Amino acid sequence: AQSVTQLDSHVSVSEGTPVLLRCNYSSSYSPSLFWYVQHPNKGLQLLLKYTSAATLVKGINGFEAEFKKSETSFHLTKPSAHMSDAAEYFCVVSDPGGFKTIFGAGTRLFVKA
């Protein structure tokens, strides 16, 4: 069985400061992990994905995430927040085939000027 937990429902940062969105997962096999972003009234867009190639994954818009098997974590980070980063972020785990996807509850990121 798989599950994913996003540890914060809301995160607020100031523009130019680092972003950390936390995600823990549970999986009985080697998972595929994704981060998606959803801007208001928009569909979801893939930020990055982990598929066992490298533990540090770089995505679009300066985001990256590190897979830590010992901690069962896949936290999303960005060195410097931009106003346009304000959105909802979803951590996703899928089965090895990539078919059954389970979404976290989401973390809403607020960016203050």
Partner 1 sequence: DAGVIQSPRHEVTEMGQEVTLRCKPISGHDYLFWYRQTMMRGLELLIYFNNNVPIDDSGMPEDRFSAKMPNASFSTLKIQPSEPRDSAVYFCASNLRGLAGPFNEQFFGPGTRLTVL
Of residues 14-53, those binding partner 1 (CB under 8 A): 32, 34, 36, 41-46, 49, 51
**Residue 54 within binding range of partner 1, rule CB under 8 A:** no
Question: Smallest gap, in angstroms, from Cβ of residue 92 to partner 1?
Answer: 9
- Bridging pattern class, strands 107-112 and 56-58: unpaired
What are 113's two structure tokens? Answer: 């000027």
Q: Tell which residue, 7, 17, 19, 111, has the closest CA to residue 64.
A: 19
Which backbone phi and psi does 97 adopt, to 5 degrees? Answer: -75, -15
| First-residue to last-residue Cα distance in the chain | 41
**Residue 97 within binding range of partner 1, rule CB under 8 A:** yes
Question: Smallest gap, in angstroms, from Cβ of residue 25 to partner 1?
Answer: 15
User: For residues 110 and 13, is the Cβ–Cβ distance under 8 A?
Assistant: yes
Question: Smallest gap, in angstroms, from Cβ of residue 46 to partner 1?
Answer: 4
x-marked contacts with partner 1 along 59-88 as a string, rule CB under 8 A: ------------------------------
Instruction: State the residues that interact with partner 1 by CB under 8 A.
Output: 32, 34, 36, 41-46, 49, 51, 90, 94, 96-106
